[in-house]
Amino acid sequence: VAKQRAVRKKRERYHHGNLRRALVDEAVRTMRKSGVGALTLRGAGAALGVSRTALYRHFADKDALLAAVARDGFVGLKGALDAARGRAAALADQLTEMGFAYVRFAAENPAHYRVMFGGFLDRCARDPDLLADAGAAFQALVGAIVDLQREQRIRQDDPQQLARFVWAAVHGIAMLAIDGQLGPEPDAGVTLFRDSADRIRAALA
Amino acid sequence: VAKQRAVRKKRERYHHGNLRRALVDEAVRTMRKSGVGALTLRGAGAALGVSRTALYRHFADKDALLAAVARDGFVGLKGALDAARGRAAALADQLTEMGFAYVRFAAENPAHYRVMFGGFLDRCARDPDLLADAGAAFQALVGAIVDLQREQRIRQDDPQQLARFVWAAVHGIAMLAIDGQLGPEPDAGVTLFRDSADRIRAALA
DNA sequence: ACCTGAACACCGTTCAAGT
DNA sequence: ACCTGAACACCGTTCAAGT
C-alpha cells in the first residue's frame, strides 16, 4: 500500500514538471550500473512508468538528454572540487586535494564523466548552458591557482593558461584510468596522480 | 574499363584474405569523414561491394572490428612518434617534438584516436594483441625518457612512472582538444601543448 | 503535459542453403 | 571464404488522436 502511494505521488509530481529531472536521474542511474551503451529512451521511460514518447515533451532528442546529464555531471564535479578545496588544511595543499577529488570523481562515475567530455562542442550546440556549467567547474581550478599566485607560491603566468595545463594533466590521468589504460586496478588513476602530484607542483614552481 | 578491372582485382584479393584489411581501412575512412557514429557494418560491406554477413568471416562482431581499428591506430601513432624523435635536432628536443606529433596525430584523426582509447580494457579482451600495439607506442615515449636520463638531462625517477605522467599530460591535451573543450579552434591542442611544453620540462627537471 | 498505439527507417546478429 | 535471402530483437523518432 505504501508502495502504491509512492507511485501515485511520483506520478503526480511528473505532472508538475519533474519528469525532466527524473529522466536525468534515471539516465545517470542506468549509466552507472550498465554503461552509457545500456541507456535507451524506451528503457528510461519504462523504468519511470511513463510512455516511450513522454520525454519528447522535455528533450528534443536523446542527445539533448545526454547534454542535461553532462550538465548535471559538471555541477557535481564542481561540488567535489569546492569541497576538496575547503578540506585542505594549508593553501599549498588545495591544488593537490582538488586533484585527488577530480580523479576520484572520474573513477567513481566513469560513464557520467565520459558523457561530460565526449563530443563536448557538439553537445554545447544542443544546450548552451552546458558551456556555463563546465566553465564553472573549470573556474574552481582557476580560483585555486590565482590564490596560490597571490601568495607567491607558484609562477606568475597567465592563470587561465596554467589552469589549462593542470586540467589537461588531471583529465589525462582520469581518462587513462577510466579506459583501463593504466591497468585493471580500479584505483590506478589515484595512484598515478599520487605519483604525479610532485611533478605538477614542480611544473608550476 | 580500368575501373572494372580494379573492382575485379579487388574482388579477387578478398578471396585471398585481404577483406579483413579492406574492412579496417573502410572503417577508418568512414570514421574520418563522418565520425564513429556513422560506421555501420552494413554500410562498410556495401562500400566494399561485399555482402552484409561477409565480415563475420573475419571479425566476431562489430567490437572486434573496432579493436582492429584501434590496433591500426596505435601502429600509426608509434610511427608518428618515432618519426618525430628522428626529426629532433638535439636530444633535448626529442620529447617536445614527440609531444607535438602526438597532439597533432590526435587532432588529425579524432575519431580514430577516440576508438583507440575508449573502453580500452574491454577491447583488449576482444583482441589481446591490442595491448601489445598500445604498449609499443608507449615504449617510444619511455625510450626517449630513458635516453634523457642517461645523459643526466632529467630526474632519475622510475622511467615508466615519468612516462605515464608525460603521457597523461599529452593525452589530456589531445582529448580536451578533440572534444572541443579548449574552444572551437582546430589547433587548440597544439597551442596548449606549445604553452605547456616548458611546464612539462620543468616537471621532469 | 501527459497518454496509447501504430508506424518508419535503421541497426547488429543469426541462420539456412548455396558456390 | 565468400554469396543470397530471410528473419529476429531492438533502436530513435514521428504522428494521429486522445485526456
* pLDDT tens-place string over residues B57-105: 999 999 999 999 999 999 999 999 999 999 999 999 999 999 999 999 9
pLDDT reading at B8 higher than 90? no
**Weakest mean pLDDT among A145-154, B16-25, B122-131, B148-157:** B16-25
- B182 and B192 Cβ atoms separated by less than 8 Å: yes
Closest listed residue to residue B22, CA positions, set B40, B56, B3, B45: B45
Predicted confidence band at A6 (pLDDT cuts at 50, 70, 90)? very low
The verdict on B179 touching A (C-beta cutoff 8 Å) is yes
Task: Specify the amino acid at residue B75.
Answer: V
pLDDT reading at B153 higher than 70? yes
Partner residue facing A169 (CB), from B117, B169, B195: B169
Q: How far is the CA of A156 from the C1' of C9 (A)?
A: 58
Please state, in angstroms and as integers, the Cα–Cα distance from residue B134 to each residue in A25, A36, A70, A169, B165, following that order.
36, 24, 29, 20, 16
pLDDT in tens, A73-124: 999 999 999 999 999 999 999 999 999 999 999 999 999 999 999 999 999 9
pLDDT in tens, B17-61: 688 999 999 999 999 999 999 999 999 999 998 888 989 999 999
The DSSP secondary-structure symbol of A49 reads: T
Q: How far is the CA of A63 from the C1' of C5 (A)?
A: 25
Dihedral over Cα of A102, A201, A169, A124: its sign: positive
| pLDDT, averaged across chain A | 91
What does the pLDDT read at residue B98?
Answer: 98
Question: In this complex, do B179 and A124 lie within 8 Å of one another by their Cβ atoms?
Answer: no
Residue A80 CA to residue A101 CA, distance in Å, equals: 6
**Weakest mean pLDDT among A49-63, B61-75, B108-122:** A49-63
Which residue's entry shows cell 551503451?
Answer: A37
Residue A105 C-alpha cell reads as 570523481
What does the pLDDT read at residue A1?
Answer: 26
**Weakest mean pLDDT among A1-5, A43-47, B171-175:** A1-5
Alpha carbons within 13 A on the beta-carbon side of A83 = 11
Contacts of A200 in chain B (CB under 8 A): 203
Q: Angle B62-87/B91-108 helices, nearest 10 degrees?
A: 150
The DSSP secondary-structure symbol of B52 reads: T
A 45-74 residues, CB < 7 A, strand C? 45, 49-54, 57-58
Predicted confidence band at A16 (pLDDT cuts at 50, 70, 90)? low
Residue B138 CA to residue A188 CA, distance in Å, equals: 17
Q: Angle A94-108/A110-117 helices, nearest 10 degrees?
A: 100
Question: In this complex, do B181 and A205 lie within 8 Å of one another by their Cβ atoms?
Answer: no
The verdict on B186 touching A (C-beta cutoff 8 Å) is no
What does the pLDDT read at residue B52?
Answer: 87
Predicted TM-score (pTM) of this structure: 0.92
Residues contacting residue A153 through CB under 8 Å, at least 6 positions apart: A91, A92
Question: In this complex, do A179 and B118 lie within 8 Å of one another by their Cβ atoms?
Answer: yes
Average pLDDT for residues B146-153, to the nearest whole number? 96
